[in-house]
Amino acid sequence: MNPFVFKQCTNVLKSAQRKAGTIGELLQGITEVSEASIFHHTYQYFLKGHVLEYTNDFAQWVGESLEEHTLAEHLSGVDPYDFSSVELLRETLTAVVRDYLSRFPQPRPALRGNEFSFNESVTIVFPTGIVAHNLAEFLQALRYIDGSSIYYHFYEGRIHGVFGPDDFSQWLKDQAGEPELAGKLRHLDPFMYDIEGLRKLIIHVVEHKVQTDMETL
């Protein structure tokens, strides 16, 4: 069995040199900005470390700054993990906004200073020095690794495998021989928890398995 090598990441933020003050400008921006910017405002939204009302930066801005809650909910309903590429995600986001603008008048622009700023980020990945050779060591590591490690392996891990399972589930299934446990982790809804809440839930699921195995010895 190959061990699980824990990694963590940090993101270096940079401006995409573009802002939007209206829904129309947001639509144009989503259409034209780089894939890295779309990725930052959707997938990397979870790295913020806390659960906001909506599930991506676009929806959050539309709901908070423009008070267009219907559009915000529709944008929030777009699950980035349903798509096999960032471009397909972009197409769906633009379709949602275009449909909204076709049915409702253009709302007032954002107040000065509350415009949407398009950003990108460069992800720097580095090892933690923590390695798990079995399920018990894996559980112990989950308790103490940095939150960015949970983010990297659970959220961005789905991207590492070309939009497949997260790193934890992949290892549990392929290396630890725990397909049932892997399935439980794979079906956790990332939209329901912040990173620390997700850590607690993963620990609970893995700990239950470890304790069950000990009781059957």
Say whether both 80 and 132 belong to one domain: no
Say whether both 114 and 69 belong to one domain: yes
| Structural tokens at position 67 | 């008070």
Domain end, chosen from 79, 97, 120, is at 120
Range of the domain at 143: 4-8+123-215
At residue 118, φ and ψ (nearest 5 deg) are -75, 130
* Residue ranges in the chain modelled with pLDDT below 70: 48-52, 160-164, 215, 217
Ordered DSSP codes for 34-85: -HHHHHHHHGGGGGGSS--SSSSHHHHHHHHTS--HHHHHHHHT--GGG-SS
pLDDT, one tens digit per residue, over 145-165 is: 998 899 889 888 777 655 568
Q: What is the mean pLDDT of the chain?
A: 89
Say whether both 116 and 148 belong to one domain: no
What is the pLDDT at residue 45? 77
Say whether both 128 and 193 belong to one domain: yes
Structural domains of the chain, count:
2
What's the CA angle centered on 173, arms 167 and 176, to 5 degrees?
95
91 membership: H or E segment, kind and range:
helix 86-103
Residue found under tokens 């399972």: 165
Say whether both 116 and 133 belong to one domain: no
Domain end, chosen from 60, 95, 120, is at 120
Say whether both 106 and 30 belong to one domain: yes
Say whether both 80 and 145 belong to one domain: no
What is the pLDDT at residue 194? 80
Domain end, chosen from 76, 102, 120, is at 120
**Inter-residue contact 60 to 53 (CB < 8 Å):** yes
Say whether both 97 and 149 belong to one domain: no
Say whether both 114 and 140 belong to one domain: no
Cβ neighbours for 12, distance < 8 A, ≥ 6 positions apart: 121, 122, 124
Say whether both 35 and 81 belong to one domain: yes
Say whether both 99 and 141 belong to one domain: no
Say whether both 129 and 103 belong to one domain: no
